């Protein structure tokens, strides 16, 4: 039975590309492995897989009695159901260390870089295994996506070096043009329902016992969202009402390098505690804030602890 | 301020050697780091450090406001005090994944091999940094110690390859002779108090809400312990009475490759649940069982879950 390689709920391009690449890498190391996904892939990811001729992974949501490799997360709230009834044999990630635990020794490759794809590039090198061109292509896109084309504060020199090396293998001449094409697909908001937009890139966190949801929409220009804000606010109020303390939606302008944050909360004072800026009603503009992982979530975690 | 590199409580040779080596490696990577220890080193470790001309790390037990790297563990019960008030920047380990979590991305090197020293050997290679001869010597001893000279079920081909490479760097001609010398120091029981013997290699676990302690004494011949068993049994009863559900002491015969386990428990039925053998009073012989980490702890964890 193949080992299942799976990323987080609400899969993004890194989660899908990393699952495919790690399945390839482990299979070539002699442990047959297969990429799966916990849910439908996003439009950006569909564009990337199509571009490099790869199929979307099968959707599987139950880990019972399987051997599992996790990519791009270590939080129980983001992982596949019944992981505690599976055997976790490896983790490849670039996030804070979450609350997943095991009862057996395992393999972990976790680095403080901008994207899981960057870690996987080094794993291929370490094991001296050649990266297939199409796998190099999707890993490259994953890094461009997670680092917002190198603009995110999470981006490191290792991410840039990985993109350079992967572009050669994938035969991509103009990395930035590919990135812009990808972000235009990601930014497309017309025709999408408010629910689709809120959950396009959404994560639940446990913060000192409070369930807190944070979504993020990255656009090339914030004004694209003007016609949608009212509906998005109504949608996050609805999501909050479903047993959460707060739901925040980051509307990130990747060109201006800042985020407007929409707020639905039982106690909006946590926003000022977290960022030192009082919200204007249910919204606040956070200059220079682009990363949920490195800027927004850690600040809220501390604010909830205080 | 230097990053502090620290292993588990009741430090063994792997924990001390790994802290020293990782501090060397990170310092050479440009992040000044210093090995510390949570407590007095064991006689085996003193022998190894003396042999290769290295000093025992300073004892530090509080992580408040420090930058920390953990080696050889990821369990809160085994880690330095106030880790939650420190910044955890890296983990190097070879155990099951414990309950330590972080609020920031970090670097993790965790492999399912017999010793943290084996992982560190590969990290030096990965970063293309030369291993000093004395550091190679103590890492080599750590691997011989953790794998019981390659006899433990936790031992992998990677551990054997690492020892071979490290022996060349350290200038050790007869690895097995060094191992026997080391294990004779480790086995020495005469002159030691029962308390010293129980805590020589001892770990507390949280098993489904129960505090469970497991100690291990490795000897070249079980009969060396005949005169001590009664006092050891009395000592583990005393340790159990201090708020624990159970305390087990493994008396491991590294030549016969099996362990007699002494039992102090509120419910000795967990032993039969875990190993399928009914104890003979407060003792049971476990044929082929040499590894607390891979054989004893996982079986008890499952037995306590049932
Ligand atoms: Mn990612
Ligand atoms: Mn160890």
Establish if B46 touches chain A: CB-CB under 8 angstroms: no
What's the B224 CA to ligand 2 centre distance in angstroms?
A: 25
Judge whether B114 is closer than 8 Å to chain A, CB to CB: no
Q: Which pLDDT band, with edges at 50, 70 and 90, does A294 fall under?
A: confident
Q: Is domain A194-305 given the CATH code 3.40.30.10 in the classification?
A: no
Instruction: Reply yes or no on whether the pLDDT at A1 is more than 90.
Output: no
Do A107 and B103 count as a contact with CB atoms less than 8 A apart?
A: no
- Beta bridge mates, B196: none
Taking a 5 Å cut-off on Cβ, the residues next to ion ligand 1 are A 14, 72, 116, 146
**Beta-strand pair A33-37/A58-59:** parallel
A179-198 tens-digit pLDDT: 989 988 888 887 889 999 99
Does A99 contact B101 at a Cβ distance shorter than 8 Å?
Answer: yes
Portion 148-167 of A in contact with B at CB < 8 A: 154
Decide if B213 contacts B204 (C-beta within 8 A): yes
Question: Across residues A87-115, what is the average pLDDT?
Answer: 97
Residue B208 touches partner A, C-beta closer than 8 Å: no
Instruction: Establish if A288 touches chain B: CB-CB under 8 angstroms.
Output: no
Residue-wise pLDDT tens digits, B56-85 = 999 999 999 999 999 999 999 999 999 999
Average pLDDT over residues A77-98: 97
- Dihedral angle of Cα A69, A73, A76, A80, to the nearest 10 degrees: -50
The sign of the CA dihedral A38, A44, A50, A53 is: negative
Taking CB atoms and an 8 Å limit, are B99 and A102 in contact across chains?
no
Domain edges within chain A? 3-184, 194-305
Q: Which residue of A has its CA nearest to B207?
A: A103
- Report residue A217: phi and psi, to 5°: -120, 120
| Whole-angstrom distance, CA of residue B7 vs CA of residue B138 | 15
Contacts A73 to B, Cβ<8 Å: none
Q: How many residues does chain B have?
A: 306
Give residue-wise pLDDT tens across range A135-147.
Answer: 999 999 999 999 9
Cβ–Cβ contacts within 10 Å for residue B200, how many? 19
∠ Cα A140 B119 A98 (to 5°): 60
Nearest to B294 by CA among B99, B153, B94: B153
Q: Which CATH class is domain A3-184?
A: alpha beta
Q: How far off is chain B from A299, nearest CA to CA, in Å?
A: 9
Do the interacting molecules here have an ipTM over 0.85? no
Q: What is the pLDDT of residues A147-173, one digit of tens each?
A: 999 988 899 999 999 999 999 999 999
C-alpha distance from residue A175 to each of A21, A133, A256 (Å):
20, 15, 20
Alpha carbon distance A28, A7 (integer Å): 20
Best mutation target, B87, B105, B116, to test chain A (most A CBs within 10 A): B105
Select the highest-mean-pLDDT range: A10-19, A148-157, A286-295, B251-260: A10-19
CA A171 to chain CA centroid, Å, is 25
Lookup result for tokens 């290679």: B125
Ligand 2 midpoint to CA A106 (Å)? 14
DSSP reduced 3-state for A21: helix
Query: Ligand 1: distance of its center to the CA of A15 in Å?
Result: 6
């Amino acid at each position: 039975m193949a080992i299942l390689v799976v990323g987080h709920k609400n899969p993004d391009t890194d989660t899908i590309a990393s699952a495919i690449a790690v399945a390839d890498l482990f299979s070539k190391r002699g442990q047959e492995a297969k990429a799966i996904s916990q849910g439908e892939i996003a439009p950006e990811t569909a564009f990337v897989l199509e571009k490099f001729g790869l199929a979307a992974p099968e959707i599987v949501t139950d880990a019972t009695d399987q051997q599992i490799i996790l990519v791009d997360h270590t939080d129980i709230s983001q992982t596949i159901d019944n992981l505690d009834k599976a055997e976790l044999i490896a983790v490849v990630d670039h996030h804070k260390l979450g609350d997943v635990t095991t009862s057996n020794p395992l393999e972990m490759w976790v680095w403080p870089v901008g994207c899981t794809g960057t870690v996987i590039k080094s794993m291929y090198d370490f094991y001296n295994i050649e990266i297939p061109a199409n796998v190099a292509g999707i890993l490259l896109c994953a890094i461009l996506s997670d680092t917002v084309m190198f603009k995110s504060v999470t981006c490191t020199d290792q991410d840039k070096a990985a993109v350079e090396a992967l572009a050669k293998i994938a035969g991509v001449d103009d990395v930035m043009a590919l990135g812009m094409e990808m972000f235009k697909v990601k930014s497309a908001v017309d025709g999408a329902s408010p629910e689709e937009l809120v959950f396009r890139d959404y994560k639940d966190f446990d913060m000192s016992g409070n369930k807190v949801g944070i979504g993020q929409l990255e656009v090339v220009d914030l004004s694209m969202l003007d016609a949608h804000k009212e509906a998005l606010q109504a949608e996050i109020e609805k999501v909050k009402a479903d047993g959460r303390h707060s739901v925040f939606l980051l509307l990130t302008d990747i060109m201006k390098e800042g985020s407007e944050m929409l707020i639905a909360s039982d106690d909006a004072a946590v926003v000022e505690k977290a960022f030192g800026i009082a919200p204007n009603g249910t919204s606040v503009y956070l200059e220079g804030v682009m990363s949920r992982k490195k800027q927004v979530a850690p600040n809220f975690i501390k604010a909830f602890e205080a």
